[in-house]
């Protein structure tokens, strides 16, 4: 890991690192916040997966998670949303290619060489962080929009790796959304059978979740038709899935929304991670 920058924040440290990813065959960048408690003991880790067009910086700078992470003695990691750089496939559209990895392992050219964000988040980056930083191996996961999709699908498929789960305005049913069908077709091919393991609603119906879930969604979100929160709400009721999906009156899709409920989410994770 190459240290790019480091700043003190709420008594802890906000760092940015660069490293060579074998999984993505590219240089990857991530941010990580270590609370003051990490100086004296290993701490739990909360994953924050970002949305379309974001890098590691957006949530690191705008979500305001550090203050609450310091109060609750948990670390927060902010991975990038896709591989980047010369030779990495891209598209002129904002919702495909660099900045739009959708947390899948692409199987179709030209994406398959680099776009393996599922393996990066589930396997490669956790192993690197555990080796290099004072972490206790207990993980929670959250995310916003495309990152909320990633958090839900990754947690549902890997319950042994994640003890707590939440999401901000997630894309919950991408096989029925333009934010999903377009990208899955490009990354995974036209056989929709290969898409199902990346759809949170389909995975919850099939696999369930062994904990509870917190989802916040703004009622004035300009992308509600793409996000389809009603599909997840119906499914949680039908499955009697513990958790809550809160429609927050007047909030849109921006980081003002995320920052407004960041404290709730960090506390939610801290309570579950410390009890693990």
Write down the domain spans for the chain: 2-274
Q: Under 8 Å CB-to-CB from 271, ≥6 apart: which residues? A: none
pLDDT tens digits along 50-72: 999 999 999 999 999 999 999 99
CA 142 to chain centre: 5
144-187 pLDDT, tens digit per residue, is: 999 999 999 999 999 999 999 999 999 999 999 999 999 999 99
Catalytic residues: 145, 221, 253
Average pLDDT over every residue of 80-87: 96
Q: Tell me the pLDDT band of 276, cut-offs 50, 70 and 90.
A: low
Domain 2-274 sits in CATH at: 3.40.50.1820
Q: Which residues pair with 105 in a beta bridge?
A: 116
pLDDT at 275: 75
pLDDT for 81: 98
Question: Model pTM greater than 0.85?
Answer: yes
What is the SS3 assignment for 11-63? Answer: CEEEEEEEEEECCCCEEEEEEEEECHHHHCCCEEEEEEECCCCCCCHHHHHHC
| pLDDT at res. 218 | 98
For residue 110, cis peptide bond before it (omega within 30 degrees of 0): yes
């Amino acid at each position: 890991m190459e240290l790019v920058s480091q700043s003190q924040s709420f008594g802890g440290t906000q760092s940015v690192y660069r490293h060579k990813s074998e999984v993505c065959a590219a240089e990857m960048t991530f941010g990580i916040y270590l609370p003051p408690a990490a100086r004296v003991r290993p701490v739990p880790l909360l994953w924050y997966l970002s949305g379309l067009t974001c890098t590691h910086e957006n949530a690191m700078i705008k979500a305001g998670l550090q203050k609450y992470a310091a109060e609750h003695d948990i670390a927060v990691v902010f991975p990038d949303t896709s591989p980047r750089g010369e030779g990495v496939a891209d598209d002129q559209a904002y919702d495909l290619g660099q900045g739009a990895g959708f947390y899948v392992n692409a199987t179709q050219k030209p994406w398959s060489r680099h776009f393996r964000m599922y393996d990066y988040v589930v396997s490669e980056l956790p192993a690197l962080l555990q080796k290099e930083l004072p972490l206790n191996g207990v993980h929670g996961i959250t995310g916003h929009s495309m990152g909320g999709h990633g958090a839900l699908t990754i947690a549902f498929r890997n319950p042994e790796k994640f003890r707590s789960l939440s999401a901000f305005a997630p894309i919950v049913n991408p096989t029925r959304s333009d934010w999903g069908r377009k990208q899955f077709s490009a990354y995974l091919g036209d056989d929709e059978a290969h898409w199902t393991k990346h759809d949170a609603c389909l995975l919850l119906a099939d696999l369930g979740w062994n904990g509870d879930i917190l989802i916040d969604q703004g009622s004035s979100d300009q992308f509600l038709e793409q996000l389809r929160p009603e599909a997840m709400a119906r499914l949680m009721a039908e499955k009697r899935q513990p958790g809550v999906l809160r429609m927050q009156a007047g909030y849109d899709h921006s980081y003002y929304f995320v920052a407004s409920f960041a404290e709730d989410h960090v506390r939610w994770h801290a309570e579950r991670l410390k009890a693990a």
